[in-house]
Structure 1
Amino acid sequence: MNKKKVTSIVLSCMLVVSAVFTGCGKSEATSTKQASKNGKTLVYGAEFEDEKLNPILLSSHALTNDLIFRGLMRFDENNVAKPEIAESYTISDDKLTYDFKMKKGIKFHDGTEVKAEDVVFTLKSVLDEKVNSEIRPEFNEIKDVQAVNDYEVKITVKKPFPPLLDKLTLGIVPKHALEGKDINNAEFNQKPIGAGPFKFEKLEKDNNLTLTKFKDYYGKTGNIEKLVIKFIADYNVRAMQLQTGEIDLAYLEPSQVSKIEKLDNIKVYKADTADYRCLMYNMRKDIWKDANVRKAFNYALDRKGMVDGILLGYGSEAYSPLQINKFNNADVEKYTYSLDKANSLLDAAGWKKGEDGIRVKDGKKLAFTVTAPKTDEVRVKIAEYFASQFKKIGADVKVDALDWSVIKIDQCDAFVLGWGSPFDADDHTFKLFHSSEIKGGDNYGAYSNAKVDEALQKARTTSDENERKKYYAEFQKELSEDPAFNFAVYLKALYGVNKRVSGIKEKVLGHHGAGFLWNVEEWNIN
């Protein structure tokens, strides 16, 4: 996970035990609890706070993109992109031109109609080098975008680009609200205007975001009139507030499930995901220059032990970033647990065990630090597990559990990363492993492999599905032979939800359970 995308919230009230039961203050907790029981207010205990509420700047899969905004396309219950603000679309025979017809009468929250010029402005802003957009690499195959008229948009691409329809789930912003302004620092980023089912009401930084039902929303809705997103970084506080009724739903840690399941008023959802955890090797560090050293650490990991001991069975062993994708290549090295192979590779690489059991090469010990965010119980336990496992092969590994606010991933020796997407295979692959993403992108470990670059580029710009499958297979094969990550486990997303909430439609979720609220506008509170 990218710390730029989230801000960990430190709850000062945790200094006293009573705060665990009442949140950040008795009056706030009481009022929130009362509001959540009026039958029309839903209170969500969120792990993270989006720094800016503007889809141009943030990941297209950010929570607020689904709540406040709508795009030309939208993912359905099968994670397939279907027309949303678009009424229909056609693709030219050469796969280079996309023509979209838009629905008429769809309104932004300020009452203005969504038109083609807003789509053009949104996409051109993402592509504008002056705009600090995290998602620009996802759209850089776009050659041009034009408004044919008020309700028709023409998008041309440089090469065939099958992931485009997925990318166009990006929320559309109103041109009139941002034109001529510095998008990076616009007031809009804290007071957004979209066309989604909920509109912005107020934001209390480091505390909560309040959204209200948009009465002119064009789609189907339930009876939720207000949605309060409380920013609660501490998983124990989230679980306690779920138990006391101060919040209606929250992401849970595996260790909390058995207790929460015993509560009469809470149902625990255990959703399948494409969400994996791994150890990122920072290629800037000399220790990771040798691929055989990275392979050795991959063999030294008992993944089944992690699934059973850390995830408590709520997950599975990992070996690839596309394991849950239709383009998964199962015919790759899965690094089945083998201390013998790990030790042999390190011996061959010149790392010899000293009298203290720690390996040494050229006078330097095989020592490094694994960093993890302290507000994520699973990641901290994973880091500790890595350290204990790697000690068995002669490595001196320390664990540093830090707050997100002080973590610089690209400076860590190794980091417990979390990624994974249930959408097109381009998502969470190109931006993580292509060398063009080292500077300013999400390739924090500075991984660079010419064969991987070529395979990923061809896979995203090839229209034939069989050809895409071949290129993604090549990508996974090369990645297994020259590891960027030590893939550990896939997680189930565990959500505790008050039983008075109905209408939840489950589907395969993304990173950190992203997507659980995908149809929240249709939910009802009984």
Structure 2
Amino acid sequence: MTARSIRAVTAATLATALAMTAAACSKPGSTADGSGPGAKDSAVVGIAYEPDSLSPLLGYGKDGNSKIFDGLLALDGDMSLRPALAAELPKVTGDGLTYTYKLRQGVKFSDGKPFGAKDVVFTYETILDKKTNNAAKTELDAVKSVRAEGDSTVVFTLKYPYAPFARRTVLPIAPAHVAGKQDVNTGPFTTSPVGTGPYVLTKWSKGEKLSFRANPDYWGGAPAVKKFTMAIVKDDDVRATRLRSGDLDGAILPPNLAKTFKGDSGKKTYAAKSFDYRTVTLPTGNKVAGDTAVRRALDVAVDRGAMVDKILEGAGKPAYGPVPTDSPWFAKGTERTHDLAKAKKILDDAGWKPGEDGVRVKDGVRAQFPLWYLSGDKLRQDHALAYASDAKKAGVDIKTQAGTWEVIEPRMRYDAVLAGGGSPADPDFDQYTLLKSSLAGDGFNNMAWYDNKRVDTALEAGRRTDDEAERKAAYATVQQELVKDPGYTFLTHIDHLYVVNDTWAALSTQVEPHDHGLASGPWWNVEDWKPKK
């Protein structure tokens, strides 16, 4: 799980009123510079989450598509690796321990300074520095050293053969001449970045929007969308309202709101398959949620199929772990069917007996715990309410509560959370940070404080070999252990839906991770959009 900052949101009713007032007071496309919604060379899209920082040294853009920056490699529409700041795919030695990258020539940062090997070395060494506050630095654990050979070649030496290493090098490159001259954690580069990407940040109005202009000297060609704005709209209903009023050109929406635009001929809906899951953390520090019997009972008490049908309206699939059922990494036989009778028997056998009010009790402890979800996120709210309803039928009383991440994060060790995660790049990318016991309490990593030695061993085995059969066996072990010892109740994998004005060509979607909207969605390749004739 990657840490992200979600600042306090106002009540949904107030936010809706403000959004409608703003829409009524300004005409789409009427801004002084002609960059508002509907302008021919601009686009304004609504996203749900705001980044904590725009520095790749602190984790921004680590999965690619950062717009301000480029990595050595990038992912195309089919999620295949292609060269970006590297001139070609890396040369890898037979033992899988050395990766050599030849760099693209003539690339410049947006301040006009040349890009070179020193910037690549600086970026990776800085991220790996213990003083750098990057919660994702374990993703580069395999790196032993990175060195420059001249100004156009970079060589990575690994500690062990790490099969997905090349996919880690979509990580954006920061300029040593700027970021290297200031505090990596607090310096101005974190909010005023300089990169080699297709867009340049012009303004970041915290809690409101990020504004970009096209980089005319971009090595991949100047984008046709000259001005691009990401409006931060955390409430789903408000986002839909602003899209309908013409205040936005596009937005990510939950299924129930996306379907309200079906009859609008001027808009088009894009569905993106994803590895994005919703799960309930069951923290070991909670006397009820940390009980293995309660966890196993909830795992079969939940009706995942009903959630897909009623909450997602078919735009997704049941989740039994972090790996989707249609992935080649999914371990067949780890599916769990909805079985309320089995759930009750598990609890009975473990000594959790129904009380007078139907809520189970064991050794004087009521089977009751809180479940937090993010304010304004309707999908999380609906999942939380459905989960609590299913649990109630088994005799477990779950109290759902809404809050911001600032409210939720300090409670994660003892309170359950309706969380999200998922990465399509490789099973190591999400599972290690989700389940590794040593990462418990490390920000949003291992939010459930899960501790399973067999899982720890399998996770290490999966990342320390490039043998596909050995890796599949390792991740099958992880999934099998989650059946016996579920520290989370996985609910659904969600297809992301985006509604966009039908005025641009070349729009498409990728298979997406959990963190979506900012660098995913149909605007993952906004630099390639062309206006329709």
Deviations along 1:360-408, one digit per CA (max 9) or x if unpaired, are: 1111110111110121101101111111111111112111011233221
Structure 2 CA distance for aligned equivalents of residues 70 and 9 of structure 1: 31
The amino acid of 1:19's aligned partner reads L
Q: Is 1:86 the equivalent of 2:92?
A: no
**Which stretch shows the higher mean deviation, 392-401 or 257-266?**
257-266
**Which stretch shows the higher mean deviation, 29-38 or 251-260?**
29-38
Which residue is 1:189 aligned to? 190
3-state secondary structure, aligned to 2:401: strand
Structure 2 CA distance for aligned equivalents of residues 396 and 525 of structure 1: 54
Which residue is 2:370 aligned to? 369
Correspondences of 1:330-345 after superposition (within 5 Å): 330-332=332-334, 334-345=335-346
3-state secondary structure, aligned to 1:166: helix
3-state secondary structure, aligned to 2:57: coil
3-state secondary structure, aligned to 1:321: coil
Correspondences of 1:419-434 after superposition (within 5 Å): 419-434=421-436
Q: Are the counterparts in 1 of residues 46 and 233 from structure 2 also a CA contact under 8 Å? A: yes
Which residue is 2:5 aligned to? 6
Which residue is 2:469 aligned to? 466
Task: Indicate how the Cα distance of structure 1 residues 16 and 169 shifts in structure 2: closer, same or farther if over 3 A, else same.
Answer: closer
Instruction: Return 5+ residue gaps in structure 2 as ranges.
Output: none
Which residue is 1:129 aligned to? 130
Task: Indicate how the Cα distance of structure 1 residues 13 and 474 shifts in structure 2: closer, same or farther if over 3 A, else same.
Answer: closer
Instruction: Return 5+ residue gaps in structure 1 as ranges.
Output: none
3-state secondary structure, aligned to 2:524: coil
The amino acid of 1:295's aligned partner reads R
Deviations along 1:83-137, one digit per CA (max 9) or x if unpaired, are: 2111132111111111111011111111111100000000001100101012201
Structure 2 CA distance for aligned equivalents of residues 178 and 493 of structure 1: 34
Structure 2 CA distance for aligned equivalents of residues 318 and 352 of structure 1: 29
Which residue is 2:454 aligned to? 451
How big is the shift at 1:252?
A: 0.5
The amino acid of 1:473's aligned partner reads A
Q: How many residues align?
A: 523
Which residue is 1:23 aligned to? 22
Q: Are the counterparts in 2 of residues 90 and 100 from structure 1 also a CA contact under 8 Å? A: yes
Q: Are the counterparts in 2 of residues 119 and 173 from structure 1 also a CA contact under 8 Å? A: yes
Which residue is 1:360 aligned to? 361
Task: Indicate how the Cα distance of structure 1 residues 264 and 490 shifts in structure 2: closer, same or farther if over 3 A, else same.
Answer: same
Which residue is 1:519 aligned to? 525
Q: Are the counterparts in 2 of residues 100 and 153 from structure 1 also a CA contact under 8 Å? A: yes
Which residue is 1:392 aligned to? 393
How big is the shift at 1:31?
A: 4.1
Which residue is 2:236 aligned to? 235
How big is the shift at 1:8?
A: 4.0
Correspondences of 1:127-526 after superposition (within 5 Å): 127-220=128-221, 222-323=223-324, 324-332=326-334, 334-408=335-409, 410-441=412-443, 442-513=445-516, 515-516=520-521, 517-526=523-532
Which residue is 1:71 aligned to? 71
Q: CA RMSD in A?
A: 2.0
TM-score (norm 1): 0.95
How big is the shift at 1:38?
A: 2.4
Deviations along 1:190-237, one digit per CA (max 9) or x if unpaired, are: 100111100111111111111110011111454100111111111111
Deviations along 1:386-436, one digit per CA (max 9) or x if unpaired, are: 111111111121110112332215245211111111111111111111112
Deviations along 1:453-482, one digit per CA (max 9) or x if unpaired, are: 111111111011111111111121112211
Q: Are the counterparts in 1 of residues 16 and 238 from structure 2 also a CA contact under 8 Å? A: no
3-state secondary structure, aligned to 1:307: helix
Structure 1 CA distance for aligned equivalents of residues 192 and 235 of structure 2: 26
Structure 2 CA distance for aligned equivalents of residues 113 and 237 of structure 1: 43
Structure 2 CA distance for aligned equivalents of residues 98 and 295 of structure 1: 43
Structure 2 CA distance for aligned equivalents of residues 356 and 395 of structure 1: 11
Deviations along 1:122-174, one digit per CA (max 9) or x if unpaired, are: 00011001010122010011100101110101111110111211111000000
Structure 1 CA distance for aligned equivalents of residues 479 and 153 of structure 2: 39
Deviations along 1:34-68, one digit per CA (max 9) or x if unpaired, are: 622221111011111112101111254578x5211
Task: Indicate how the Cα distance of structure 1 residues 36 and 27 shifts in structure 2: closer, same or farther if over 3 A, else same.
Answer: closer
Q: Are the counterparts in 1 of residues 274 and 495 from structure 2 also a CA contact under 8 Å? A: yes
Q: Are the counterparts in 2 of residues 13 and 24 from structure 1 also a CA contact under 8 Å? A: no
The amino acid of 1:432's aligned partner reads L
Deviations along 1:266-322, one digit per CA (max 9) or x if unpaired, are: 111122111111111111112233322211011100111111111111111111211
3-state secondary structure, aligned to 2:156: strand
Structure 1 CA distance for aligned equivalents of residues 372 and 437 of structure 2: 23
How big is the shift at 1:12?
A: 8.4
Task: Indicate how the Cα distance of structure 1 residues 37 and 9 shifts in structure 2: closer, same or farther if over 3 A, else same.
Answer: farther
Structure 2 CA distance for aligned equivalents of residues 62 and 28 of structure 1: 36
Task: Indicate how the Cα distance of structure 1 residues 499 and 29 shifts in structure 2: closer, same or farther if over 3 A, else same.
Answer: closer
Q: Are the counterparts in 2 of residues 210 and 229 from structure 1 also a CA contact under 8 Å? A: yes
Structure 2 CA distance for aligned equivalents of residues 160 and 24 of structure 1: 54
The amino acid of 1:66's aligned partner reads S
Structure 2 CA distance for aligned equivalents of residues 27 and 185 of structure 1: 36
Q: Are the counterparts in 2 of residues 274 and 511 from structure 1 also a CA contact under 8 Å? A: yes
Q: Are the counterparts in 2 of residues 19 and 25 from structure 1 also a CA contact under 8 Å? A: no
3-state secondary structure, aligned to 1:184: coil
Deviations along 1:228-254, one digit per CA (max 9) or x if unpaired, are: 111111111111111122111111011
Q: Are the counterparts in 2 of residues 44 and 247 from structure 1 also a CA contact under 8 Å? A: yes
How big is the shift at 1:331?
A: 2.4
Q: Are the counterparts in 2 of residues 23 and 237 from structure 1 also a CA contact under 8 Å? A: no
Task: Indicate how the Cα distance of structure 1 residues 215 and 138 shifts in structure 2: closer, same or farther if over 3 A, else same.
Answer: same
Deviations along 1:168-193, one digit per CA (max 9) or x if unpaired, are: 10000000002242110010111001
**Which stretch shows the higher mean deviation, 417-426 or 323-332?**
323-332
Which residue is 1:115 aligned to? 116
Structure 2 CA distance for aligned equivalents of residues 61 and 23 of structure 1: 34
The amino acid of 1:327's aligned partner reads W
